[in-house]
Chains A and B, each alone.
Chain A
């Protein structure tokens, strides 16, 4: 059994390390620091941590001002609030002036679980990737999260980092490369490519193993940790090499990774393609695993979709 750590936990640890290295790093939260894990930073560097209370719009605007004055702010809250509630602030105060604000949003996706649909951000990738200047990271495990957090400091301009609540397997060891905008080939394969992001990379790898064993299908897995700028070259290459593509994301099938891949392939190299993701529905309360299964995002669901897309492959 692989080690498990949630991406929010990894974020919290990475922030403390960054805080030690760079005194310009500041952190803002909106009364959720224990959940988003910015609490670690707040204990280590209280003078550089600002709890803005339950006032997310002001938090984003304040982060913009800090960045305009040369600081490197990380602003955290749940993804549903970080993108929905503060959309205009992120758009007009952060993205338009291209300020160095990292919006690090936890509890994204349906695996928020029991809190229900009001707290399950399933549209945040769509909302963020449509903003000019914005970089969008959806890390697949703990180590990749740490790398993404570090990359956010280096990137000139705003960055959205999508983080999750549940503990998920560690996929990458000590030696791995994280290049923003460059997808990672997480598994080789020749019949089909599953392009996934976030915790769905783990499910995609599980599905690929099942397909190999049970069906003799060889599925490649491409970890698309950066949704924007999108690694179009790797997508086209995958389509050319395997002739079929399935996308997998813990996000609405509208507007997220699946849409981004479809846009790319539609304009370059159309191949049989299907999307795994949240149907056009709000979620509900439940255990994360139950919800993933019920709404069609589990490894076995990916498996079934892969088989279907393969029937369309010439």
Chain B
């Protein structure tokens, strides 16, 4: 694989992580843990994989990304800004009155947001609808979804998993951010969603398991997910919550709390 491409994406992911830390620090609230854990995945999508055009955000043939775990909004905003949907300076308005950068993504407020999310468990259903429309319209766009591993405790996810398989939505690819933590603690302890591979396989999906922080593995898994064998695709990404900031990594308390100014500084040094 192209070493330069991978190095560039790794650098971009680092920049996005810096945005995330700064934005949440400035906002004084937000969800750094799960934004940082999915940063490499979303970077690979927005800066290599997806056919999108920030100049024509509503282009009907575009690929779509649905951030089902809507609390990772800072990650989506950072990617959109870096991709040119809006100026990066606007990232500092996150969660402030009047800003299009709502605490959870709102498609009516910000170009590039494909679906309003935040109430967990709903994104895959919407993605399925987009994928069905693509098939009806004979358009070959692909729909990507980011699900959280705590989020899949929601029953609607499994309704949608069943439907994607039933309607042969091979134009859907889900990334499951398997960071193993949710607000109340270890996902396995709160309400175990395991075994993940077996569950998704039995629901009729193509399943891959990768290191969710390894860009090369992410890109390779994406390539494999275009097999078009009539099955939807899920890439279970083994990740670390808070990845990239030493004091946040694997710490459940960083699910939903903002870093203080000195912590922002420390994090930015680590992400330099």
Q: Are the CB atoms of A57 and B125 closer together than 8 Å? A: yes
Partner of A68, one of B115, B122, B124, B166: B115
Chain B positions 129 through 150: 1 when the CB is less than 8 Å from some CB of chain A, otherwise 0:
1111110110000000000000
Contacts of A255 in B (CB 8 A): none
Q: How far is the CB of B95 from chain A (nearest CB, A)?
A: 17
Interface assignment of A58: CB less than 8 Å from any CB of chain B: yes
Interface assignment of A96: CB less than 8 Å from any CB of chain B: yes
Interface assignment of B209: CB less than 8 Å from any CB of chain A: no
Query: In the complex, which range does the number of interface residues on chain B fall in?
Result: 20 to 34
Q: Give the CA-CA distance A292 to B55 in the complex, in Å.
A: 58
Contacts of B126 in A (CB 8 A): 61-62, 64-65, 68, 93
Q: Give the CA-CA distance A52 to B119 in the complex, in Å.
A: 21
Contacts of A58 in B (CB 8 A): 125, 128, 156, 159-160, 162-163
A residues touching B (Cβ–Cβ < 8 Å)?
26, 47-48, 50, 52-53, 55, 57-71, 73, 88-89, 91-93, 96-98
Q: Are the CB atoms of A61 and B108 closer together than 8 Å? A: no
Q: Are the CB atoms of B107 and A68 closer together than 8 Å? A: yes
Interface assignment of B60: CB less than 8 Å from any CB of chain A: yes
Q: How far is the CB of A182 from chain B (nearest CB, A)?
A: 27
Contacts of A96 in B (CB 8 A): 106, 108, 116
Q: Give the CA-CA distance A71 to B134 in the complex, in Å.
A: 10
A68-B108 contact in complex given A55-B159, A55-B162, A57-B155, C-beta closer than 8 Å? no
Q: How far is the CB of A314 from chain B (nearest CB, A)?
A: 48
List the 10 closest pairs (A to B, CB-CB), nearest first: A65-B129, A61-B125, A69-B133, A58-B159, A65-B126, A55-B159, A66-B129, A97-B116, A62-B129, A92-B119
Contacts of B222 in A (CB 8 A): none
A-B contact pairs, 29 of them (CB 8 A): A55-B159, A57-B122, A57-B155, A57-B159, A58-B128, A58-B162, A58-B163, A61-B122, A61-B124, A62-B129, A62-B163, A64-B125, A64-B126, A65-B127, A65-B130, A65-B131, A68-B107, A69-B129, A70-B133, A71-B129, A71-B133, A71-B136, A88-B119, A89-B122, A93-B122, A97-B106, A97-B107, A97-B108, A97-B115
B residues touching A (Cβ–Cβ < 8 Å)?
60, 64, 106-108, 114-119, 122-134, 136-137, 155-156, 159-160, 162-163, 166-167
Q: Are the CB atoms of B163 and A65 closer together than 8 Å? A: no
Q: Give the CA-CA distance A8 to B117 in the complex, in Å.
A: 32
Q: Give the CA-CA distance A28 to B227 in the complex, in Å.
A: 28
Q: Give the CA-CA distance A66 to B126 in the complex, in Å.
A: 7
Q: Are the CB atoms of A93 and B130 closer together than 8 Å? A: no
Q: Give the CA-CA distance A66 to B114 in the complex, in Å.
A: 12
Q: Is the interface of A mostly helix, strand, loop or mixed?
A: helix
Q: How far is the CB of A26 from chain B (nearest CB, A)?
A: 7
Q: Are the CB atoms of A69 and B130 closer together than 8 Å? A: yes
Q: Give the CA-CA distance A47 to B114 in the complex, in Å.
A: 25
Q: Are the CB atoms of B129 and A63 closer together than 8 Å? A: yes
A93-B116 contact in complex given A55-B163, A57-B159, A61-B160, C-beta closer than 8 Å? yes
Closest to A62 in B: B129
Closest to A30 in B: B159
Contacts of B137 in A (CB 8 A): 69-70
Q: How far is the CB of A74 from chain B (nearest CB, A)?
A: 13
Q: Are the CB atoms of B129 and A68 closer together than 8 Å? A: yes
Contacts of A91 in B (CB 8 A): 119
Q: Give the CA-CA distance A52 to B159 in the complex, in Å.
A: 9
Closest to A54 in B: B159
Q: How far is the CB of B162 from chain A (nearest CB, A)?
A: 7
Contacts of A57 in B (CB 8 A): 122, 125, 155-156, 159
Closest to B104 in A: A92
Q: Are the CB atoms of A47 and B136 closer together than 8 Å? A: yes
Closest to B126 in A: A65
Contacts of A65 in B (CB 8 A): 115, 125-133
Point out which of A60, A61, A89 has the most chain B C-beta atoms below 10 A from its C-beta.
A61
Contacts of B128 in A (CB 8 A): 58, 61-62, 65
Q: How far is the CB of B250 from chain A (nearest CB, A)?
A: 30
Contacts of A63 in B (CB 8 A): 129
Q: Give the CA-CA distance A78 to B167 in the complex, in Å.
A: 23
Q: Are the CB atoms of A98 and B163 closer together than 8 Å? A: no
Contacts of B132 in A (CB 8 A): 50, 62, 65-66
Q: Give the CA-CA distance A65 to B107 in the complex, in Å.
A: 12
Point out which of A59, A71, A93 has the most chain B C-beta atoms below 10 A from its C-beta.
A93
Partner of B125, one of A71, A73, A93, A97: A93
Contacts of A47 in B (CB 8 A): 136
Q: Give the CA-CA distance A214 to B64 in the complex, in Å.
A: 66
Partner of B115, one of A64, A70, A98: A64
Contacts of B136 in A (CB 8 A): 26, 47-48, 71
Partner of A70, one of B60, B125, B159: B60
Q: How far is the CB of B151 from chain A (nearest CB, A)?
A: 13
Closest to B66 in A: A65
Q: Give the CA-CA distance A60 to B116 in the complex, in Å.
A: 14
Contacts of A50 in B (CB 8 A): 132, 167
